[in-house]
Amino acid sequence: MTADLQKGRMRLQACFLGLLALFVTGKCSYSPEPDQQLALPPGWVSLGRVDSEEELSLTFALRQQNVERLSELVQAVSDPGSPRYGKYLTLEDVAELVRPSPLTFRTVQKWLLAAGAQNCHSVTTRDFLTCWLSVRQAELLLSGAEFHRYVGGPGEIHVIRSPHPYQLPKALAPHVDFVGGLHRFPPTSSLRQRPEPQVSGTVGLHLGVTPSVIRQRYNLTAQDVGSGTTNNSQACAQFLEQYFHDSDLAEFMRLFGGNFAHQASVARVVGQQGRGRAGIEASLDVEYLMSAGANISTWVYSSPGRHESQEPFLQWLLVLSNESALPHVHTVSYGDDEDSLSSAYIQRVNTEFMKAAARGLTLLFASGDSGAGCWSVSGRHQFRPSFPASSPYVTTVGGTSFQNPFRVTNEIVDYISGGGFSNVFPQPSYQEEAVAQFLSSSPHVPPSSYFNASGRAYPDVAALSDGYWVVSNSVPIPWVSGTSASTPVFGGLLSLINEHRILSGRPPLGFLNPRLYKQRGAGLFDVTHGCHESCLNEEVQGQGFCSGPGWDPVTGWGTPNFPALLKTLINP
């Protein structure tokens, strides 16, 4: 009798899902933009359809409320001229503001539960729902989706994705922004190991960038370390098969941390830290965040994609929406071509950055390692901006090299330093004056058809990105380069400034850009020589934008001069 009941239930559920699919594929349905273009990225291969009873994890982004009001509050708490400066919102305040309407939450939840979704979890802000479904249930629920297993990337990673767009009932259009875990393939790291420069003679020379070289160039003394007496903390995020090893960090500090107080272990790992080989990217992030922001408690957010259907960057955003006590500074070396992402996805992720800014978090993203980038649109070349670097609610870090690669000298542009103008986000008011000054005064502005001069311009700042030593899998590796290196360095120095602010009874820096542009880059070394790479054609001949006095879309306002930057940012 029990077996007959079970079979009956299964037949009823199959019947319901069949009717649901018929409804979805009829006239009463709509197709959300896929969260990424559906073309299979280079280096990925399909292993075929996934078994229909295999379990998937999908994340539903629910429509938020009061996003305009959130934007106004971010401006108020981030502008030193505002009476609300530094009066950040709590996670509960943010949740009260943006959480979806009760109608939205009930509508989506009922739709999912009726379709057999199991184990659905929300976050504090109630604007994401993550659910487990079988492949059969997911393909009926998201008509048009067809789940395949793929393998690719440097680590031969396995992911489950759909190569086809999906449809939702039209009644859900006001309630769901997108469904995550269907289309986005993990971007590959652009971190590279460059050949060692050749030079004759070695007197007075250094043999690559180490913590002592960074501290010398940016004028840090042995006293410029965390006090160990505050609740100050900093964090970096690692994604998809990128892990650090405690033993590598300890060896790195033994080799390179002898002349300043430091912590030799990570205070907290949030998420699942895998047991695989260490990744150079993750090793670099942790080692240089903890040596620049020396002796400050450091967290690592590990989002390896615990299941093949999970999208690690989205998982990290969900964690930020669910934790009330977070580190003040977060550095992330991650990016995608802006044009590869749907408008719905990119706008929603941008709102997640607004939520972080309202709470007083400083988010720093690498500007990318492809210079201005390049792609062809209707047969014409254009520069290719990167996201999240192009978000107006993060601080984006570009890259520099030493003028003499073996001496601690002035810095010039690292030709790979990402930079340019967003094709999605309009130019925020905080940077209009600086960008106008650059466009009107630079003698090397590329043809206007290559970029959107009215878009959000980036980077905002820069630091050394060329020739780093990293310890990974117990091996010291020289000449590692990329803005993945400059980003944790700048983040660590901001953590030191936060330490002074907290000890003085002031709030942490929070979203830095309005203040940074208002102070016109005070406390930074202006980088005025060099250009980054771009399209290899006759018109621009591989040259993108060039640096110059003041702000530019290659190195932003410049690189940190720590004592001057501390003086500039310590008050109010």
Residue 203 has pLDDT above 50, yes or no: no
pLDDT averaged over every residue in the chain: 88
pLDDT recorded at residue 405: 83
User: In angstroms, rounded to a whole number, what is the distance separating the alpha carbons of residues 388 and 386?
Assistant: 6
**pLDDT > 80? residue 214:** yes
Binding-site residues for Ca(2+) sit at 526-527, 550, 552
Q: Is residue 509 pLDDT above 90, yes or no?
A: yes
Give the predicted TM-score (pTM) of the model. Answer: 0.90
Q: What is the DSSP string of 365-409?
A: EE--SSTT--EEETTEEE---EETTT-TTSEEEEEEEESSTTS--
- % the chain with pLDDT above 90: 66
Q: Going by C-beta distance under 8 Å and a sequence separation of 6 or more, which residues neighbour residue 115? A: 16, 17, 20, 133, 137, 140, 141
| Sequence ranges of the binding site | 526-527, 550, 552
Q: Where are the domains of the chain?
A: 29-180, 211-570
Query: What pLDDT, on a 0 to 100 scale, did the predictor assign at position 44?
Result: 84
Where are the extended beta strands (E) located within 108-250? 118-122, 128-134, 148-152, 157-161, 168-169, 176-180, 192-193, 233-239
pLDDT tens digits along 130-181: 998 899 999 988 889 999 998 887 667 788 888 888 888 888 989 999 998 7
What class is the 211-570 domain?
alpha beta
At 526 the pLDDT is 98
Structure confidence by residue, pLDDT tens digits, 109-124: 999 988 888 788 999 9
Residues noted as catalytic? 281, 285, 484
Peptide linkage before 388 cis (omega within 30 of 0): yes
Mean pLDDT value across residues 190-199? 58
What would the pLDDT profile of 523-567 be if each residue is shown by its tens digit?
999 999 999 999 999 999 999 999 999 999 999 999 999 999 999
